[in-house]
Amino acid sequence: MRHLSVPKRRTEEFKRLLIENQWYAKGYRILSDEECTLIPISDTAPSPLPSPFTGIPIVEEIQEAPSPNTWLEHLQDHLPQSVIDEHEGIWPNSQEQLGDLVIFKIDREVEKYAQQVALAKISYAKKTRLVLKDLGVKGEFRVRELIPLAARLNGEILDADGICALEENDRIELTSTKISIKENGVSILLDPSSAYYSNRLAGERRQTVNSALELREVLDREVNVVDPYCGVGPAILQLNNEKDLLNRVFASDLNQAAIDLFIERLGCVPEDWIVETRDALKLREDEDLLGRFDILLMNLPHDTLSHLPSLLPLLTKQGPRLVRGWAVVKEEEIPQHDAKLNSILSEHGSFSKPVESSIRRQYNSTMVLTRFEARLGNW
């Protein structure tokens, strides 16, 4: 369902505006998304939403239909009702379900109750093996720091102390975060503790497939793709799910753990593909890679513009070619960002109209995640 993505501090303002217009999806939850909130929009609201919602990012997020049975009801088994009432609206309703893992972030105000929250969540989600507190992504690999707080072993629920008390082998097996999930029907092997993966970008990857299919039509042949920040390979795996779309693939990442997971998922790396640990900034030193690819994926959102000049030489020198990239930018600085982007791209090839970034979602209170698509070679 559609959600308005707004900075946390403006949640009440926009919730009220939606309610006044009768466009608030009653019974559905307001979700937390990094430093923003996602406010559910009712199916009856127009699309696009008119003023005063014009320009506010809309995010698609799956929410189960409202049900009287929520994890919060299980919290009563672990905390007094007075404590639950005192912090109403702050309890972490949003969570990520990845396979049999549940990962949640918790507001500082109720962090001391994280153990009880984890137990309530695992009691509610009967198929969950492990509930982890998410302390956010860290370092250049963008890997999450996760703390296991509740687990299910042979039907019995264990808290953090219970998990620690297990024999080492049992504990390692029970708290493993390596899992296989399905994204748009494609299976992906991941481990959020050692390699970046976000299912929030699944929609972006679907659109990458659509653009690649268009390019295949224009070129009248299979396409060659370079994904220098491939992580565990979700974008390439989605492209590979289309028959006769991919020819040559070069997929790399600085994080060895991500590459290991990607290769393990592939089983055997197809002929004409290279999947390896590499620093994207050094790829242009490799003569064999220069001028070879039709599609370049730039998914290092904090450094897109600074890395882009190093990667463009990997694209073919003429003919239709495609760059899709994501960048985290201050909203008011998008025009300057786009001016720089166009100036970098124009050194590599021509395009019929200026490339414009579009806002995909709010990233934090001041920044947004944007995406651009550059169709070089005038197609």
Ligand X SMILES: C[S@@+](CC[C@H](N)C(=O)[O-])C[C@H]1O[C@@H](n2cnc3c(N)ncnc32)[C@H](O)[C@@H]1O
Binding residues for ligand X, rule: CB under 6 A, are 140-142, 196-197, 201, 228-231, 234-235, 253-255, 258, 279-281, 299-301
Give whichever of 219 and 263 is closer to ligand X, judged by the CB atom. Answer: 263
Nearest-approach distance from CB 51 to ligand X, in angstroms: 33
Q: Give the C-alpha separation, 341 to 68, whole Å.
A: 49
DSSP 60-120: E---PPP-S--HHHHHTTTS-HHHHHHTTTTS----EEETTEEEE---GGGGGGHHHHHHH
**Closer Cβ to ligand X, 92 or 234, answer by number:** 234
- Report in angstroms how near the CB of residue 360 gets to ligand X at its nearest: 13
Q: 13 or 140, CB closer to ligand X?
A: 140
CB of 236 to ligand X, least distance (A): 9
**Closest separation in Å from C-beta 376 to ligand X:** 21
Amino acid at residue number 269: V
CA distances from 221 to 161, 217, 320 (A): 58, 7, 12
Q: How far is the CB of 288 from ligand X (least distance, A)?
A: 18
d(CA 202, CA 345): 26
Q: Min. distance of Cβ 188 from ligand X in angstroms?
A: 9
Query: 268 burial class (0-12, 13-18, 19+ CB within 10 angstroms)?
Result: exposed
Of 378, 376, 377, 364, nearest in space to 330 by CA:
364
Cβ-based nearer residue to ligand X, 196 or 351:
196
**In contact, 353 and 379? CB cutoff 8 Å:** no
Spatial distance between the Cα atoms of 316 and 339, rounded to a whole number of angstroms: 23
Q: How far apart (Å, rounded) are the C-alpha atoms in residues 247 and 245?
A: 7
Q: Which residue in the shown chain puts its C-beta closest to ligand X? A: 231
- Looking at beta carbons only, is 123 or 299 nearer to ligand X? 299
Cβ-based nearer residue to ligand X, 255 or 362: 255
